[in-house]
Chain A
Amino acid sequence: MATERPISPEARSILNAHISRRGVLAGVGGLGGAGLLAACGGSSSKSSSGNSKVVRWGNWPLYLDYDSKTKKYPTLEKFMTQTGLTAKYFEDYNDNDEFFGKVQAQLKLGQDIGYDVVTPTDWMAARWIRLGYSQKFDVANVPNKVNILDSLAAPSYDPQREATLTWQGIMAGFGWNTQKNPKGIHTLDDLFSPQNKGKIVVLTEMRDTIGIILLAQGVDITKVTETQFMNAVDFMAKKIADGWIRGVKGNEYAQDLTSGDATAVIGWSGDMFILSSENAGKFDFAIPESGGTISGDNLMIPSTASADGKKNAEALINYYYDPTVAAEVAAYVNYVCPVKGAQAAMEKVDPKLVNSEYIFPSDKTASRLHIFRSLTPAEETKWAEAFQKAQGN
């Protein structure tokens, strides 16, 4: 655990990146406001092409080290001092679809969207690449690119990592209440054992929940077929109908665990880290024996960034792939650090975190993490529809 937390851990467990990102609240605010705006063509943003010393970065809330005393982002401050560039940091990437809806029209017209770096999740990054809305890195400007972990180096949507680099990795696995599950949860059968009936919550993130079910069914999720997928969705629908699964939720599952409404979940590593450190020994997390999923949020340069904007964005991305800088960020966010050498660098940043399985999964853990294959647009719609229907939507 980090020695000093910028905001109270309790508040953070509520506001934690995932919570504000994937929680239902983002949807609530978005449906009214952003929804209509998106439908009407989105808001306009001013170009800053006149200023060549600026880099504008749109990221998820609470996803960068923050010092509540100085009200600044220490690593970002250092970047500005080192490079002489001005970084404008916006914590306004709240939801993949919502953000996409907001900027889509401008991307299509080639108008500046107001960002030089954005941070979409894998499957959304894949969509941007497909549509030609991203720019490839100039490798000479991003020498630290080689520091990306081998396990993350070749996703199907960007096999050479030419246009994306992982910002943080998110593991999904089983989380449980240790009093109700003294032996822990390591298989799908453990999850659906009688003491958890009606108190199981799974994630709204399709690729994580169905991915874990598929892996338990012995399916390779890097090659999953539609029949296999629908089969796993039916499995989930049946578990809902039979009263095993109480809900399909974003981060509110963390609240359900603390309130006792849930005793076992399919959840995210970062959230479970916070929960277990807050409630000493009451909760635990593990990657299923049959395998867990890992996904990532990616640093990416939109097609609309100017030449200068792109160069500055590359400098920023390169900076965050420095092992020491990456370790400083990881010590704050507690998600999987995608940078090689950050573990060694963590020795100086926060020695207690050097062996954190949450930040630096061991080889044994990492070998059990899989990335869900990217879907075609037609699959994306059809599969999402099946997954939504299974949860009553």
Chain B
Amino acid sequence: MSLPKVRVPYLLLFPGFAFLFTFFILPIINLAQTSTQTPIKGGDTGQYQQSFAFSNYIHAFTENKEQFARSFVFATLSTLLALAIAYPLAYAIAFKSGKFKNILLVLVVAPFFTSFLLRTIAWKQILGEEGFVVPGLRSLHIIGQQTTLTSTSFAVVAGMTYNFLPFMTLPLYASLERIDPRTIEAAGDLYANGITAFRRVTVPLSMPGVVAGTLLTFIPAAGDYVNAAILGSPTSKMVGNVIESRYFKIVDYPTAAALSFTLMAAILILVTLYIRKAGTEELV
């Protein structure tokens, strides 16, 4: 009688497991195998054999330290920028928007209705020589007459901040929206001024949103290569660009795989440290 009941959880788990096994576990195993291969002697371009060359990892990392460092710096910068922009935005939507709340939320999500690539290409036009930003800033003498904005690290960070902003805004909104306004009133009753109430009540209660938002922004930003490819220059390449070039241009699958693994491990370590620090209970 109780057997079917025992099976239910397994049945529920099956689709997810099957999917992840096929499209996550198997490719990861394949990637791991590829990462320690070496070229076949006398073989053609793209022909590799397994030789457990773990030195591939050292080579891949030391050759591309610069791009690794840049990936993490850019990802951190765009996460902080996104947080600085999204927090007031989410706060306003949660507490001050009144009847416009739904419209504002739709507007936050609206960029998703167009392709990620198109939006990034649009940024190139906006920041280009004949867009309105560059001539405007030049006439205000904020930037020099010869300064350009595209093909710079600035453009890459700006593009990433923009592209990941909704991922920061939505979790922040969700946790701010859940805050009972009476807790803030109570802080006032206890003689906290506005700033203290915000610092001691609102911010701690919104921490789950901050943690979720920063993770959702930082992780994809660290592995991103589209923004650097479209908005950057040869001196602002990120590790994602190196992986792409290794895979498609140099046809060096082992190095591409080793780089992917190293990136994955680095993100995993950073995220683990971060969650430890922030506390897992903040995630829910």
Contact = CB atoms under 8 A, between A and B. Distances in A.
Contacts of A393: 67, 237, 241-242, 244-246, 249
Interface stretch (B10-18, B23-31, B192-200, B271-279): B23-31
A381 B234 contact: no
Q: How large is the interface on A (under 10, 10 to 19, 20 to 34, 35 or more residues)?
A: 35 or more
A246 interface: yes
Interface SS majority for chain A: helix
A255 interface: yes
Contacts of A252: 230
Contact of B43 (A101, A198, A377, A388): A377
B44 interface: yes
How extensive is the interface on chain B, given as a class? 35 or more
A31 B247 contact: yes
B233 to A, nearest CB: 6
B220 interface: no
A248 B249 CA distance: 13
Interface string B219-247: 00000001001100111110001111111
Interface in A302-333: none
Interface residue SS majority, chain B: helix
Given A39-B31, A260-B130, A130 B248 contact: no
A24 B230 contact: yes
A333 B75 CA distance: 42
Given A261-B148, A393-B242, A381 B117 contact: no
B244 A381 contact: no
B172 to A, nearest CB: 28
Given A39-B253, A40-B27, A259 B124 contact: yes
Given A25-B117, A27-B244, A260-B130, A255 B234 contact: no
Given A39-B27, A247-B233, A259-B124, A388 B148 contact: no
Contact of B151 (A27, A28, A261): A261
Contact of B117 (A28, A31, A388): A28
A381 B124 contact: no
Interface string B240-284: 011111111111110000000000000000000000000000000
B250 A381 contact: yes
B27 A377 contact: no
Instruction: Report which residue of B30, B146, B236, B244 has the largest number of chain A beta carbons within 10 angstroms of its beta carbon.
Output: B244
Interface of B: 26-27, 30-31, 34, 39, 43-47, 67, 117, 124-125, 128-131, 146, 148, 150-151, 226, 229-230, 233-237, 241-253
Interface of A: 24-25, 27-28, 30-31, 35-36, 39-40, 95, 97-98, 100-101, 104, 127, 130-131, 198, 204, 240-241, 245-248, 252, 255-256, 259-261, 377, 380-381, 384-385, 387-388, 390-393
28 contacts: A24-B230, A28-B229, A31-B243, A31-B248, A39-B31, A39-B253, A40-B26, A97-B248, A198-B148, A240-B234, A240-B235, A246-B233, A255-B124, A259-B128, A259-B129, A259-B130, A259-B131, A261-B128, A261-B129, A380-B45, A381-B45, A381-B250, A385-B250, A385-B252, A388-B246, A391-B234, A391-B237, A393-B237
